[in-house]
Structure formats: structure tokens, C-alpha cells
Structure 1
Amino acid sequence: MWTTLEDSLCELGESPFWHPEERALYWLDIPGRAVLRTRGDIGSADAKVERWALPTEPGCMAPARSGGYVIALRDGIYRARAWGGELVAMARVEHDVRTMRFNDGKCDALGRFWGGSLNEAKDSANAALYCLDARPGTGISPTITQMANESTTANGLAFSPDARTLYWADTAAHVVCAWDWDAEGNSLSRARVFHQFDAKPAGWTTDAPQGYQGRPDGATIDAQGHYWVAMFEGAQLLRFAPSGEIVASVPVPVQCPTMPCFGGDDLRTLFVTSARKGRPVAEVERLPASGMVVSTRVDTPGLPVSFFED
């Protein structure tokens, strides 16, 4: 059973995470240029949704251990020390901000912030995955490093619980890839296809959605190391075993889920953001939760959010 979070409507919801200390759910509206959060008993009358306007499109964000947030905007990665606070640039990348922006990302368990970019024109596989290391005691100033590339729409970033595998998707290519990951040394090797999805059939429409699984968008990992990915236009989440086998398909009440995360005090509430922007009127009428946050309870808990260390 799915519950819709009131007042959570976005054009394109993304990057949800559960803040355990605040008992708060955070997420982004990318084209709406906003951070949203709701605190306390999610869904209760007292749990109001707050919105923080940003100067450009946010792609992803994470909480910081010392307070505040790290946020990837169109042109780079910024630090805010408090809700609604000043945005201070930490790192910029050399992409053309007229057609490129940051998209999906999160922190790893060691406190480094990862963010992938997106080619809005979708005419070239020139998007990349970056890692920002600002940890104290490393002897270096904040450093951003390109870790992978040759993508069109960076998505699906997730890290296995044992910190030995990194997952990263290219939505436009309908593929999720995996790498062996040395977390301490922060190096990637043995790149491989984790799962290749079929392309959208010619003539496919949301009026007749059968025959298309959707394409991989945002993702998360549960405590058993299973990879959960939102299938944009597929109206479902897929749960993969570490072997790459699909072990569950979970229908959602939106055509375009964008990213799942686990939250609640026991990390057994599955929250899912979704998209409404550009969707057909008939689809939105049929699926009125489109663009909102929906949630359900699950048996296997997720992993707690990783905080940015600086």
C-alpha cells in the first residue's frame, strides 16, 4: 500500500534522503530549483513541507557531519552551513553550463561526495561522474576527481554495504554498470554491465505502457546489499541481487519514479520521488501522485545516509 505525502508536489523530484538526527525527509525539485524537507512524523498534520529556493537547478545533495549540506548545482558543488544559508562554492567542473548540469549523486561511507552530470541535449555521451574529497586530516584542500565518463545522463549511483562495488547508470542508454571499488584508495576497476534494459519500443505511449520496463533512474541499496532502482516511465522499482538477478518488481502509483531511499526510525519506510514535468495530461489524471513523494513499508531495511565530512 502506497501513501502520498501531502504538499510534496514537484516538477521533477530527486535525491531523497532520510536525516536520522532530524527525523526529516529531504529531497529536491530540479527544474523547480528548490530543496524540500518535512520533519517529524511524516504524513501527520504537524509535518509541514518546507521549501528552500536555490539560484540554479540542484542535481543532488547530502547532509554534512558538521552541520548543513553539500549541494551540486548546475555549475559545481556548494556548501551551505544551515537550511537556507549562504551557498559557498567548493568545486567547479569544466562543462558547458548552457547544456550540462549536475544530476544524481550522494556521499560514500567515508564521507566523500559523488555527483554525476547530465547532457540536456542528449546528443553526446559526455557526462561524467565526479568525487569531491574534503575530509579533514587528508593533507589536501578539497579536491574533485573525475572517476568515470562516457555517459549521457548520470544516474543510479550506489555503493555496496561492503564498500567493494560501485553502481552507476546511464539512463539514456538503459544500462546499469558496476565497478570493483577500492574505497580506501578510491579507485575503480573491472567495469562491467550489471544490467542492460531493452530500449523503449517504437510507438510506445503511456496509454499502452505494456512491453516496456522503463529506464534506470535513481537508486539505493538495502541492508542485504540489494540494488533498488527507479524505472522512469516503467511505473516500478526493480530490486536486484548483487549477482545481477532481478528478485522483485514493485509497482508504484506514478509512471515516472525517479529515486528511492529508505527512512523512518527503522529504515523500513521506502520513499520514492517522481516526475510530473512534461508528462501527458491523461497520464497525470490517471496517476495523480505524479510529481509527489510516495512511500510504503518494506521488510528489509535500508542503510543509513552517509554524511559529508569536511
Structure 2
Amino acid sequence: MNLLLVRDESSRDSFRDLFRDLFRDSFRGSFRGSFRDSFRDSFRDLFRDSFRDSFRGSFRDSFRDSFRDSFRDSFIQGLIQGLIQGLIQGLIQGLIQGLIQELIQGLSLRRSYSLVTSYFGGRQDIGFFFVSSDSVLRGHSVLFCEISNTEPTDRTPANTKPANTPGNTSANTPANTKPANTPGNTSANTPANTKPANMKVDQLPVPCMLLGEGPHWLEDLQAILYVDVFSKALRRHFVGSGRHQVLTLDDGGLAEVVSAVIPIEGEPELYLVALGKNLSVVRWSTSDPDQHTAVPKVIQTTTDDHFNDAKCDPRGRLWAGTMGPLDEHGELAEFNNSSLFKLDQDLNFSDWVKKVSISNGLAWSHDRTKFYYIDSPAKCVYVFDYDDEAGAISNQRVLLDYESAGLEDQVPDGMTIDVDGNLWVACFGGSQVLCVDPKAGKVIRKVTIPSKNVTSVCWGGADYATLYVTSGTLKMSKEEVAANPSSGGTFAISDLGTKGLPPVAFKVDLEKLRVKMAV
């Protein structure tokens, strides 16, 4: 539809003269002919009673009060209050049924409208009335409207520029984010529950496990190292050649699980393993058979049920947590009776967090002032203040509460950090890995994994741009596993738009370690 407008008093007079000149002759001729009789009959039969009653009733009082009080300030306000309440009720009921059928025949308004809008320069200040822009009205109503002090617009939202406008490269960027590829923010534009265009999730050609855990990238071997928990075995997959080595740990049957493995700096064939109640050291060479067995040397023991996740801080001190026993259904049998320990370079062993149920994910901020930690049954990611010099943590508080974040059906497990300082958290029971902004305490991305029970994550591969993910079939029925053949698999996610940093090996006094192993 098109809009006819009157701006001020002088424009109104001009409009009146123009309207009279343009319409007088054509309308008079039409009215004198067929339209006069039909209009008279329609007005007398259809409009007379309804208009008379309407005018005597609501329209008379409404229009009088509205015209007197409102018209001098706002023509439209008075028009709406008076005309809509009175005239439209009578006009629409009578005029639509009779008058319009005659009015629309042979009456063209396109030329008249064009002249009027040209005369007023297309200004849109005060609404007057609008009609269809068709050359000939065909069944369209003539209505009154209001537009107050508006200028023509291009419908672009205020304070924004159209997409692809020069100088506006982030037109579609959500508020408070940086455009993609901004230094230090390589994944800023990836919405939650979506993935970058080229992101890939590939399952590695390795056996599925009841419970895989503790992935760690070996730069010198270009291999992903991880543990097969209930098989009490270490696995090492060489991504270039596809070779897969398995080292079974023989501790005489003392332990039921192996839960973590960390390389020892300065000794490329030595690994620190969390095996049941013990922290032990085992030797494993690339020259060993692909299926091999070794006897580990114990260097530290806990009185808790058994160790779980472990990782080294930026200075190479080992932090290893414990957990309670599991029942026959794989459920935790005891709560709040475990701890988080630290084993430093001199092999001093100390307890830092008590009343833990299942100690899991660990990560440190790049500025070495924050320590991030997960106690799985609490369904929380915690943050501590971290003293890098002393290797001390304090001031524990909640960073992300899974239940408050709508993630109550899953459990936080292993964790790592990317170059942007964002945390990547494995979700056991959730078939996904979350990316968490620790400054905002919010989930900013979700990456779906084709395995229900996702257990841990680490960065590796070329330039540390691949996220390796472990999982397990623990607590899944045979039917679930059969229906989801990727369950328990190990995965490599590439092209995430961000990357990680090299992991830290255990930096121990090697002489003291040799003495401990000789005992």
C-alpha cells in the first residue's frame, strides 16, 4: 500500500487545492452518472440507519470531545479516537457492503497519488489516509491510519550495519564476541551446539574399551597415550603409522584398575602410572612387542580406595586424586572420603583437598594464577587460586554447576584447556564435550561425540590442533552398545578453530627416583 501524508498547514492547503483540481471533474462526472444513483440508493438503504444511530450515539460525543481536546495537538490522535470509535463502525458496516462495490469500478487513483507524493516530496510526517497502489481498486477498503513524525527507513535495525557492509566485518557477530579469526579468539563465533564448517570427529582404529581414560600426547613419538582402566593396560597409538602398542601392568593382582599415565621428563622410556592404591613407575620402549607385559615399581601409596585422574602442573609437579570403591553395577559406593594429592620433584607427598568423592579433571590457567578442578559426583567444575611458586591452591569456589546449567543428566569428567584459556570438559553420560569460558562461567560450545560416556580429553597432533577424546561402555547395556557401535571408542576432533599447548611431563629428581625404585 501507499501512504498519503500532510505535513503542516501550508501543505494542507496545497493538498486541498490539488485534490480539488485533480478529482473534481473526474469524480463529478462519475458521480453524476451511474455512481450517483447507486450511491444514493446504497446510502439511503444501507448507510442511513447505521450512520444516523452511530452519529447520534458514540460517534457524536466521541468525535466532538476528541476534536476539541486532541486535534489541536495531534490530528491523528483525535482522528483515531473519534473516527475509529464512531465512523468506522458505521462506515465499514454500510459502506463496505454497498458503496465500495460501486466506488471501485472505473476509479483509478495511481496517477493522483503519484502527483500528490511528488508535490510533497515523499515526506512522511503526519499520516492522513492510505489506499491500494493498484491502478484500479478491486475489492480493497479505504482506511484511516496514523504515522507520527517518521522518515522513510531501510528497515535496518538501529545502530547496526547490513551484513557485508565495508568496515563492518562482524555484522553477524553476537554481542560481546570477537569476529572469527581474531587473534586470541579463534573460536569466538561458533555458537553452542554447532560446529565449524570443517570440523571432523574421527574414530581412531583402536579397540573400544569398557573405560578409556587419561589421554596424553607424546610429541617425540607422535602418538596418543592413554589407559585401558579395567584391563590394567596402557595403550599407545602412533597416528602416522597406525601402529598400536599395548602394555599390560602386572602388579601381582593387587590393583583392579589403572587410571592415569604420565611420561617422566629426562627418561623417555619411563612412565608414572596410577595403579590402584599406588603411584608406580614402569619402563616401556618402542622396541617392545606390540603386546607386552611389565612389572611396575611402586614409589608412593595412599590409604584411600584407589587413585583416579592425575596431571602435572606447569612446573611438572604431579597432582593425583583418589576416589571411593564402585559396587557391582559400577556405581560409587562411598562418598566424600577421598582427596587430591600432590607429589613434588623431591617425591614429597601432600594432601590438598579433602572430602572428595571422585577426583577428576585438572587444568591450570596460562597466567598460572588459577587451578581448575572437577569432583564428578558434585557435578561441578571448581576454580582455586593457584600459587605457582609454592605449588599451593586455595579459595575453592564453583565455576560451573552442571545442574544450574541444565546439564543435570550428565557428569563432568576429564578436562583440558586451549590457547584461548577456555576449558574443554568431557561429559560422562552426555555424548559430548563442552567448551567453557572460565571468565564468564558459561558453556560457549558443545561438540557431540558418537559415544555416550565421554571420559577425558587432551590436545595433540600437528600444532596441537587436534582434540583427542576417550570414552567407555561402563554402565551401558549390551543392547545400548550394540545399537551404538562407536561406544567406548577413542576419537580425534580436528578443525575446531582453536588448539592446545604441549602437556607437561613429571619433572622429578631422577636420582631420588632411582633410589626410590631400588627399594
TM-score bracket for the superposition, by shorter chain length: 0.7 to 0.9
SS of residue in 1 equivalent to 2:481? helix
Q: Is the 8 A contact 1:239 1:249 kept in 2?
A: yes
SS of residue in 1 equivalent to 2:480? helix
Alpha-carbon separation, structure 1, partners of 2:262 and 2:225: 9
Please list, as runs of the form range in 1=range in 2, the aligned pairs for 1:1-310 lying within 5 A after superposition: 1-41=200-240, 46-54=241-249, 55=251, 56=255, 57-67=257-267, 68-83=270-285, 86-95=295-304, 100-120=305-325, 121-134=332-345, 141-198=346-403, 212-243=408-439, 244-297=441-494, 298-310=496-508
Which residue of 2 is the match for residue 137 of structure 1? none
Shift of 1:212: 4.8
- Kindly report the root-mean-square deviation, in angstroms, between the aligned alpha carbons of the 2 structures: 1.7
Give the TM-score normalised by structure 2: 0.53
Shift of 1:94: 2.0
SS of residue in 1 equivalent to 2:507? coil
Which residue of 1 is the match for residue 36 of structure 2? none
Shift of 1:211: 7.4
Q: Is the 8 A contact 2:210 2:472 kept in 1?
A: yes
Shift of 1:64: 1.1
| Structure with greater helix percent | 2
Deviations 1:33-74 (A, max 9, x none): 110011141xxxx31221111133211121111122111111
Shift of 1:278: 3.1
User: Could you tell me which amino acid in structure 2 is paired with residue 301 of structure 1?
Assistant: K
Q: Is the 8 A contact 1:271 1:295 kept in 2?
A: yes
Which residue of 2 is the match for residue 138 of structure 1? none
SS of residue in 2 equivalent to 1:128? strand
| Structure with greater strand percent | 1
Alpha-carbon separation, structure 2, partners of 1:28 and 1:251: 22
Gaps of at least 5 residues in structure 2 are: 1-199, 286-292, 326-331, 509-519
Alpha-carbon separation, structure 1, partners of 2:454 and 2:390: 34
SS of residue in 1 equivalent to 2:258? coil
Q: Is the 8 A contact 2:208 2:472 kept in 1?
A: no
Deviations 1:57-115 (A, max 9, x none): 211121111122111111121122434654222211222xxxx1111111111111111
Residues 177 and 122 from structure 1, CA distance in 2 versus in 1: closer, same or farther, beyond 3 angstroms? farther
- Give the length in aligned residue pairs: 286
Gaps of at least 5 residues in structure 1 are: 135-140, 200-209
User: Which protein has greater RCO, CA pairs closer than 8 Å, 6+ apart?
Assistant: 1
Alpha-carbon separation, structure 2, partners of 1:85 and 1:286: 36
Q: Is the 8 A contact 1:213 1:231 kept in 2?
A: no
Shift of 1:15: 0.1
Runs of 4+ off more than 3 Å: 81-86, 210-213
Give the TM-score normalised by structure 1: 0.88
Q: State the percentage of identical aligned residues.
A: 29
Q: Is the 8 A contact 1:272 1:295 kept in 2?
A: yes
Q: Is the 8 A contact 1:223 1:302 kept in 2?
A: yes
Shift of 1:8: 3.0
User: Could you tell me which amino acid in structure 2 is paired with residue 90 of structure 1?
Assistant: I
Q: Is the 8 A contact 1:212 1:234 kept in 2?
A: no
